[in-house]
Structure formats: structure tokens, C-alpha cells
Amino acid sequence: MKQRILVVEDEDAVVELLRYNLEKAGFDVAAAGDGEEALSAVADGVPDLLILDWMLPHVSGIEVCRQIRRKPETRDIPVLMLTARGSEADRVRGLDCGADDYVAKPFSTNELMARVRALLRRAKPAEIAGKLTFGGVEMDLGSHRVSRAGRSIHLGPTEFRLLKHLMERPGRVFSREQLLDSVWGRDIYVEPRTVDVHVRRLRKALNGPDDLDIIRTVRAAGYSLDETTEEEKSA
Ligand code: CA
């Protein structure tokens, strides 16, 4: 069965561009022109993914995202936010409201399609019997062993927790503050830049000379796991 994507956007030209490309890629596409319409469309049938514009008449994209995250039956829908707002604070706000990822307008169709595929891949958390796997990396949560393509990897406790957190929701972009809360804990005061230091260590440990870097740095926002090739990233 085709996967269904709901596009929430009030600009017809953008809707048509998205519809054309998504249908060509084999998706079923539904569209809603404002936030209220989006919420009632989601209530009628949960889509596999939501592409949500931030700037909508009446109810904003942020508010739509919040409401979707509040209900158990819609909480897990992957949400890709479209935003014309480029400041760091706005990006982080988008992630804080529960969006999984965002693409800034004007967007490249190739990049947007790559983000859509990445989010759909992550929709099923890959935890089987205490094991997390992603992009050839395997984490055994019981024995605390990590390997990549058979090569055993040594991680410090913070890098282990950081990788575990990212591997539990591959594709989802986490802001530095969100990572600090979940990996370090709310009661500890740590500089957001500390996250960068540990990500650097984690990358060094994970990536052999011929390996794809599975950690994506999202400019001005944070980090996510990503199997997208360099070509797709720069497209
Ligand atoms: Ca709009």
C-alpha cells in the first residue's frame, strides 16, 4: 500500500510542487490549506508523514504540531516543518514544539525528498531484543557493546548515552538543549557547546576512514542520525 503524506500549506504553488514530486516518488498525497483543516484531516485518517508549513492562516504550523504531539494516536506521526524563518531561535523553537526535522524555504526538492525518506525510515524504531541498529552500527544495550560492520567500538559513558538517544529516534533532529536534557539530565548545568565536544568524540569513534558519517550536523539547530549520502545532502 502507498504511504500517505499530508501537505499542510496555504501557498498553492508550493502544494502543487510538493504534490508533483511526492506522487512521482510513489506517495499518496493529501493537502490542507490551513491548520484547522490539517487537524481535521489528521483526525479522519492518520497520515504516514506530515509536511507542515510554519506560516499558516488562523492556526500556525507550530500550534498544529503541538496539538498532534498531545494526542496518543497522532503523537508518533513524523513531522517535517517548512520554514521561511531562518534564525537559530526559530529553528530551535520548531524542534521544541515536536517537529522531527525542518527544511528552510526556498527549499531544494531533492533535499526535501531526502528528508522525507529519512523520516519515513526512522518511523519504526529499530530496537529488537535490547539491540539498536542504524547504518551498520549496532548497540547492544545489555552488554553495552557497540560495533560497526563487525568492528568493535569503544565509547565513553556519555558518548554511549548520546548515541543511544540518537539511535532510538533516527532521522529526528535534536537541538543541543534537548540533548542536554535527555543525555546529561535537567539538573546538571552544562554549556550547550559541550554537546559538540561529545559529538566530535562520538564521530571519531564511529567513523572509520571508509565509513559514511551517520551523524548529521543541522546548521544552527542540532544533530540527527542520517544515512543520506553526501550527494543528497548537498543537492
Ligand atoms: Ca504559508
Beta bridge partners of 165: none
CA of 45 to the centre of ligand 1 (A): 23
Q: Is the domain of 146 the same as that of 114?
A: no
Q: 31 CA distance to ligand 1 centroid (A)?
A: 13
Q: Which of 91, 122, 153 is the last residue of a domain?
A: 122
Shared domain check, 137 and 115: no
Distance (Å) from CA 124 to ligand 1 centroid: 30
CA atoms within 13 A on the CB side of 120: 16
Predicted local distance difference test score (pLDDT) of residue 75? 85
Q: Is residue 211 very low, low, confident or very high in pLDDT (cuts 50, 70, 90)?
A: confident
Q: 94 CA to middle of ligand 1, Å?
A: 15
Q: Which tens digit of pLDDT belongs to each residue from 147-161?
A: 998 899 999 889 999
Instruction: Find the 17 Cα to ligand 1 centroid distance in Å.
Output: 14
Lowest mean pLDDT among 20-34, 174-188, 199-213: 174-188
How far apart CA 82 and CA 84 sit, in angstroms, is 7
Q: What is the mean pLDDT of residues 67-71?
A: 90
- Sign of the CA dihedral with 126 first, then 128, 131, and 135 last: negative
Query: Mean pLDDT across the stretch 85-92?
Result: 69
C-alpha 10 – ligand 1 centre gap (Å): 5
Give pLDDT tens digits for 92-107.
777 778 888 888 888 9
Q: Are residues 147 and 225 in the same domain?
A: yes
Exposed e or buried b for every residue in 205-214, given b needs 16+ CB within 10 A?
bbbeeeeeeb
Over residues 16-55, the pLDDT tens digits come to 999 999 999 999 999 999 999 999 999 888 999 999 999 8
Whole-number Å distance, alpha carbon 226 to ligand 1 midpoint, is 27
- Same structural domain, 133 and 115: no
**CA 117 to centroid of ligand 1, rounded, Å:** 23
Q: Which percentage of the chain shows pLDDT scores above 90?
A: 45
What is the domain range of residue 148? Answer: 127-234
Structural domain count of the chain: 2
For residue 9, the CA-to-ligand 1 centroid distance in Å is 5
CATH of the domain at 230: 1.10.10.10
Q: Which pLDDT does position 166 carry in this prediction?
A: 93
Q: Find the 106 Cα to ligand 1 centroid distance in Å.
A: 12
Domain shared by 105 and 171, yes or no: no
- Ligand 1 centre and the CA of 168: distance in Å? 32
